[in-house]
Chains A and B, each alone.
Chain A
Amino acid sequence: MRQKLWYRQDFTGEKNHKNMPEAVDGHPPHPYIPNTEAQQREMLATIGVGSVEALFDDIPAEFRFPELNLPPALASEQALMAHMRSLAARNTPGTVSFLGGGAYRHFVPSVVGEITGRDEVLTAYTPYQPEVSQGTLQGAWEYQSMVCNLYVMGISNTGMYDLATALAEGALMSARITGRRKILLLDSVHPNDAEVVAAYCDRQGIQVEEIPARDFDAVDDKTAAVVIQSPNYFGYIETQDHWRQATKERGALMVVSANPISLGLLPPPGEFDADIAVGEGRSLGNHLSLGGVNLGIFTTKEQYLRQMPGRIVGRTTDRDGRVGYVLTIQTREQHIKRERATSNICTAEQLVALAATVSMTSYGPEGMRELAEQNFHKAHYAAAQIAQIPGYQLLVEGDFFNEFVIGRPPMRPSWINHRLLQKGIIGGIDVSSKIPHGLLLCVTEMHTREQINLLVKALGEVT
């Protein structure tokens, strides 16, 4: 049945208001609009115009002042919050969830919100006027420093929209650097990210080919880069050293997507001499929010500085020798280079990068190591327990971080999830289209032993 894509709902009927208590029509002045009618009249007199409507004479008359069919305003805070609470109540995280697959539930230290909630960083503009933006700029410079350390890479930008777009920009950048028009993408990269990479490349006439994760021979001298995710979509660790060798032999670049939480424990892309290393920064001090808080970590080698997209903050001094920070190498960017810019990116994810910075500071090097280890141990404990349940198997052999794939052939993973949900447990991601009978489970430091045991017991009871 063909679904209408456009939205038309009549807001005059009561039936549409069931979630909206007491609708209050906006009575000027609205709390967000200071000027009273008296003040507006004064201003109109200064301008020399009879009415506000007259200021819009240059808008085509036949289309002026449409009546917008929107719900009556919830102008009072009480009414708005009551409505939002009722919506929030219809989102249920379950007793416990074992979902991963590119979004992970990690702890959010209180200090993060105490900083990012401050008006001075929340409502600040892009730091084009550095003298009044040293907070944002220094914060960004510290962020750049920390992700370079974490990924063991030479330089970083201030962040891109998310992992998928960072990966796509990495592919485009590889094509620019090498002058080649083909990207090889391992089939173990997150399918959503792979789709975005392919789409971005296709629009610029760059070919993207999906290859098996060990097909080292696929690299040829037309290959701009090989794109790898490690730990991969299924949670398993890819052989970056073999890929580095294969790409080096053919003059291709290696672009690696790596979970930042894993890098407290696992060897970062920089240790394999990756050319470009990206990651999803949401896990560093942010809530899941339906996958709606994102940060595309983007790092590369110093020699590729001029080809790197995104904003970059550099350190410098003022006339009196005081140290300060500025946006730099802006000649790469859209506001200067326009159609010859490395990317069209402008507003990105600055506040999320600040959250990541505060979070990485809160953990410190020991904390990040311990965090990664806890993820590892809890996931391995879960996997070992599940493997012992009759009928269940670990479907993939190999080292994993905090995600793994189980199966109970011939049972469909969607059925397993359904049975788990009946007990209030949100299970895993059905990956059976890629691994027959496969269910992708994730365990983080947030899961307690009791919760893991609950899952194991529930899996054992699935009929």
Chain B
Amino acid sequence: MGAELDQAGRTIFEKSVAGRRSSVLPPLDVPKTELPVHLLRKSVLHLPEVSEPDLMRHFLGLTRRNFSIGSGMYPLGSCTMKYNPRRHEAVVAMEGFADIHPAQPVDTIQGWLEALYHLQGFLAEISGLRAVSLAPMAGAHGEYAGIAMVRAFHRNNGEDDQRRKVLIPDSAHGTNPATAAMAGYEVVQVRSNSKGDVDQAHLNSLLGENVAAMMLTYPSTLGLPDGGILEIAAKLHGVGALLYGDGANMNALLGIVRPGELGVDVIHMNTHKSAATPHGGGGPGAGPVMASEALAQFLPDPVIHWDANYARYDFFRPEKSIGRLGTWYGNTAVLLRAYAYILSLGSKGLRAVSENAVLNANYVKVLLQDVFNIKYGRERSCMHEVVIDGTRQKPAGVSTMDIAKRLIDLGFHPPTVYFPLIVDGAMMVEPTETESKETLDAFVAAMRAIAREAEETPELLHSAPHYTPVGRLDEAQAARKPVLRWRPPEA
């Protein structure tokens, strides 16, 4: 990515010239009605005035300043940045899907409802949890729905007041405690042991009838399946609490194991991870939630069901539903892609996805473990991701951030950095199954070269990246003196 002749930082507003326009509306074909003068916008509408060629050039210029899956690998742990199949884009663009209003009579949307109904079924098969709602619009939204269902379950048993605590491992993604708090719970942190698994002794000390649930990521954010998961589930159920599964790492489990069979009561999946829906720079995604029969009546509204009375698919609001999660039915355009994806792969294909995801991660692990520290799981196979860290490079004054930025120079997006918190200077590496052996070899070579540079020429790392439109940005200044929008020049 070279520097642009069109200087980085020129916004669309700075390209605006009064009187230009990018579109023309058809002429009004009805008589005008008098506008209510007391109800007219007074403020000037400051939107850019540009021609269509300038509009295209500007936004295409923006696209040239992005790394994407089309540029190269994103070894981002827990993000599952796998290839996004293009045929799905053609599907979503079909008029029969795109031009349909959500409030249409159900008889006129049977194609949509059949796809969504079957997707529910696919997710039930994959997770082993039969009750499914597709309504959540992101992973965190799915977490929120799941925890709200837990709360509804306890309220239904008259135990909501007594069960105010949710247990969350110290290795958890930040959305987990944020979700629990948002749903009205108190967060209690559970320690990890020296193997990176949940410290069962610590868990025992926290268990009681004041616990609503535990939130567990499986495999963990360290890329390791907790060896004690069956005990964890049993212990929680023993005190009347539930096990919430964070499904962010489901790419390791497709056709490998069903979370529902391990004792998970409710789990969400991120379709923009395991189900290959595009990340879009930060959405749209979807976070469908799958739950056990005991929680089925609390599912969000709507669930798609087959109405035998009318022989058609229809929306269904479960008896004691936690209610709607949004204005409509979820990010159905995203869900349609997930449906097409699972349909394209089938059961053997999904198993191949997880097998190759895990194989790729272990391959990278084995080729990097002599140059980068691995705090947890050195001696065992990892799942679809491996957490290495920059502690071996730290004494030379090189930070994980430096390593990440130098990797950009070598053509890769950095891995997830500084997470999970229990690993100092963590780098979570998740290649995904859609990367070839050659790409993995190139990534390994790049990382090994950086490790050498850390010792021999660390200044190259400190000043990285070198070839991007901008270098390291002053984030402290951005927070200290926020400039969050373009402002029209003072009149």
Contacts and interface: CB of A to CB of B under 8 A. Distances in A.
Contacts of A341: 174, 178, 181
B261 A93 contact: no
Contacts of B473: 130-131, 316-318, 324-326
A268 B39 CA distance: 10
Contacts of A347: 138-140, 270, 272, 279, 282-285
A335 interface: yes
A57 to B, nearest CB: 7
A133 B468 CA distance: 10
A325 B474 CA distance: 9
B99 interface: yes
Interface stretch (B16-24, B199-207, B392-400, B447-455): B16-24
Contacts of B472: 131, 318-319
Interface string A7-47: 11100000000010000011011101111000110111011
B28 A120 contact: no
Nearest to B83: A32
A346 B139 contact: yes
A174 interface: no
A166 to B, nearest CB: 10
A43 B478 contact: no
Given A66-B255, A426-B108, A343 B178 contact: yes
A87 B175 contact: no
B346 A93 contact: no
Contacts of A292: 102, 328-336
B387 interface: no
Contacts of A268: 41, 43
Given A68-B255, A289-B332, A337-B178, A75 B41 contact: no
B103 A99 contact: yes
B96 A88 contact: yes
Contact of B327 (A294, A333, A399): A294
Nearest to B129: A6
Contact of B25 (A111, A146, A371): A371
Given A69-B125, A161-B137, A203-B182, A361 B47 contact: yes
Nearest to B46: A149
B272 A164 contact: no
Contacts, number: 709
Size category of the B interface is: 35 or more
B229 to A, nearest CB: 7
A150 interface: yes
Contacts of B79: 125
Interface stretch (A151-159, A218-226, A245-253, A386-394): A151-159
Contacts of B477: 316-317
Given A44-B359, A115-B63, A131 B465 contact: yes
B140 A344 contact: yes
A338 B178 contact: yes
B436 to A, nearest CB: 4
Interface string B419-454: 100000000000001111100000000000000000
Given A130-B473, A323-B8, A399-B39, A46 B342 contact: no
Given A75-B349, A449-B29, A68 B126 contact: yes
A334 B111 CA distance: 38
B322 to A, nearest CB: 7
Question: Which of A33, A152, A448 has most chain B Cβ within 10 Å?
Answer: A33
B19 to A, nearest CB: 9
Contacts of B43: 152, 267-268, 270-271
Contacts of A367: 21-23, 25
Contacts of B288: none
Contact of B413 (A40, A44, A132, A263): A132
Contacts of B9: 138, 315, 322-324
B240 interface: no
Given A103-B102, A367-B23, A449-B30, A136 B479 contact: no
A351 B283 contact: yes
Given A44-B359, A326-B478, A358 B55 contact: yes
Interface string B356-389: 1011101100110000000000001100000000
Contact of A148 (B348, B468, B485): B485
B403 interface: no
B483 A316 contact: yes
B334 to A, nearest CB: 7
Contacts of B95: 88, 93
Given A5-B296, A377-B33, A196 B326 contact: yes
Nearest to A305: B482
Given A43-B359, A161-B138, A377 B28 contact: yes
B343 A66 contact: no
B239 interface: no
Contacts of B56: 111, 114-115
A47 B128 contact: no
A364 B340 CA distance: 37
Contact of A92 (B35, B58, B108, B181): B108
B180 interface: yes
A326 B96 contact: no
B146 to A, nearest CB: 12
Interface string B117-137: 110111011101011100001
A291 interface: yes
Contact of B30 (A75, A195, A378): A378
A381 B471 contact: no
Interface in B1-57: 1, 8-9, 11-13, 20-23, 25, 28-33, 35-36, 39-50, 52, 55-56
20 contacts: A7-B120, A19-B114, A34-B436, A84-B94, A88-B95, A90-B111, A93-B99, A119-B70, A130-B473, A134-B8, A135-B66, A165-B141, A196-B326, A265-B35, A288-B99, A290-B332, A291-B332, A316-B473, A317-B477, A348-B284
Given A56-B381, A91-B110, A163-B327, 7 more contacts: A32-B344, A32-B353, A33-B352, A136-B282, A237-B39, A323-B8, A377-B30
Q: Which are the 9 A-B pairs with shortest beta-carbon distances?
A: A292-B332, A88-B96, A6-B130, A73-B346, A323-B9, A291-B328, A291-B102, A351-B280, A7-B121
